Amino acid sequence: MRTMRGWGGVAGLALLGTFLAAAGAAGADQPQISWVRGPGSVDLGGQASLGVGERYVFAGASDTRKLMELMGNTATNTEVGLVAPKSKDEDWIVVFEYHPVGFVKDDEKDKIDKNAILEGIREGTEEGNKIRKEKGIPALHVTGWYEEPHYDPSTHNLVWALLAKNDNGSEVVNYNVRVLGRKGYMSVTLVDEPAKLTASKPKVDEVLASFNYKQGKSYAEFVPGDKVAEYGLVALVAGGAGAAAAKLGLFAWLFKALAKGGKAVVVLVVGAVAALKRMISSLMGRGSEA
């Protein structure tokens, strides 16, 4: 699986079907994962704590990176944890990454132009299709918002989801949450099949309900003199983790990110998550039961 944190096959959780099917069927060399089974509390990169409910399991930072690499992704060292359900009937996972970019001001909360951002992402995606074609990857076409970007000033959570289709007819979707903190932000990505996203979204809320920045690291604890990020909410949506869009311009940055294998938005190809979950279940020792 190549995790695509950009609409370009870039470091996120997508185009994983072929790789995972092969890995699962062949019993490829699989790392030992130290799963933490809920209920309990876990650490997220020394920045936050997370309560893992009885119905979930958790993989820490190093194990999450192992899983990312097993899925065909180059670990970025931003990974701090992964949550998955114990139930064999649920296929979603939630990936946590922390980005110490500084304090992201939310003064743009009333200036998020969803139409302009969508058009910019569309243009960047179509430009990126040239690269996909060279790599033999089906072209991807953004079709609209699954959930328009919105910001909650009480929780400091920025949420959005995009829809797209590739030339093979597969529907692609992402669901992103950015939880702002004093020194940076936590990227929270839901990975699931598009048809199941409506049902799995409430699970993200349930998981995040127990998320807390540690003392001295919350958004409300900002003090003058702290490092301030060079971009705001709009760039987080437009450029995701690589929000250098603020400096380069949206279109130029998206193309540069795709060309370099950077990351912007997490996407998912239909049918791939089931293979991912089977692999994770196998690593958890649940075998065919999952």
The mean-pLDDT minimum among 42-56, 94-108, 229-243, 262-276 falls in 262-276
- 248-276 confidence digits (pLDDT tens): 333 343 344 444 443 333 333 333 445 55
> What residue ranges do the domains of the chain occupy?
2-289
Short-list 173, 178, 141, CA closest to 272: 173
Beta-ladder partners of 94 = 83, 190
Angle between the N-to-C axes of helices 250-260 and 114-135, in degrees from 0 to 180, rounded to the nearest 10 = 30
Q: How confident is the model at residue 6 (pLDDT cuts 50, 70, 90)?
A: very low
The pTM of the full predicted model, rounded to 2 decimals, is: 0.76
Amino acid at 252: A
Q: How confident is the model at residue 280 (pLDDT cuts 50, 70, 90)?
A: low
- 124-180 confidence digits (pLDDT tens): 778 878 877 887 777 888 889 989 999 999 999 999 988 888 787 777 777 889 999
What lies within 8 Å, CB to CB, of 211 at 6+ separation is 44, 48, 49, 50, 179, 186
With a cut of 80, say whether residue 203 has pLDDT above it.
Answer: yes
